[in-house]
Amino acid sequence: MNSRRSALSRTAAGAAVLALLLLGAVPAASAAEPAGHAGSSERPSAARQSVIRGGDSIYSAGRVCTVAFNATDGAEDYAITSGQCVSGGTNWYADAAMTVPVGATVGTSFPVNDFGVIRYTNPAVSHPGEVGTGSGDAVDITGSASPVVGSSMCHIGRVSGMSCGTVTAVNVSVNYPDGTVSGLFSSSARSEPGDAGGPAFTSGGKALGFIVGASAGSTFYQPIGEVLATWGLTLS
């Protein structure tokens, strides 16, 4: 094991705050104005233009989730996001009115891990290998990398937008009421309620993971490498 890696454990009480703070699922009817962030904070979704990039919102009955990254197995294409958010959602849409179908959930893992995989089914919706920044620009994702303590990174939150910081710990375990999620990493980048699923990446366009929670000034992420290996996927 790399000697630069460190381990961190949170208490169940802290994890409860973490779960409530950044659980990505919120009622679709209020998705445009999440509680405590009325009116202006949420990033507009490119999905309404039938394009879904990393950082864009997708909708199911009673919930809205953020796509972290797009991926493929060579035959079909997939969206990767938080398992907590995807759990309970079956069919997904590009708009809050649920008029433009996107795809369907094919797998989730929570606890132990925290990721969900959605298979794209609508050929009219494109899903490039990019991450939207919310300012009209996009970051081309050219591959994946493992987080290294002290390295710089940025993430895109559905509510908070783009925030940058440094990786502060790897091999983090968090105890949720539902069970322990292990193998996470953390950073000093700022996040807000509703940011779960937001993509984290390096300045060179390498995917690191995606937001799954926050507590005590730290943001926690599911590493992307584990998801890709489990599902036999490569980033688009």
Most confident of 12-16, 17-21, 64-68: 64-68
pLDDT of residue 216: 83
Residue 73 lies in a domain: yes
pLDDT of residue 22: 42
Same domain, 122 and 147: no
Same domain, 81 and 136: no
Q: What is the CATH number of the domain that holds 212?
A: 2.40.10.10
Counted domains in the chain: 2
Rounded to whole angstroms, how far apart are CA atoms 76 and 45? 23
pLDDT of residue 215: 87
Rounded to whole angstroms, how far apart are CA atoms 139 and 199? 11
Q: What does the pLDDT average to over 191-207? A: 95
| DSSP conformation letters of 20-36 | HHH-----GGGTTS-TT
Tens-digit pLDDT profile for residues 41-61 = 344 444 345 899 999 999 999
Tens-digit pLDDT profile for residues 140-192 = 999 999 999 999 999 999 999 999 999 999 999 988 888 999 999 999 999 99
Rounded to whole angstroms, how far apart are CA atoms 232 and 129? 17
In this structure, are residues 166 and 150 in contact, taking their beta carbons and an 8 Å threshold?
Answer: yes
pTM of the model: 0.82
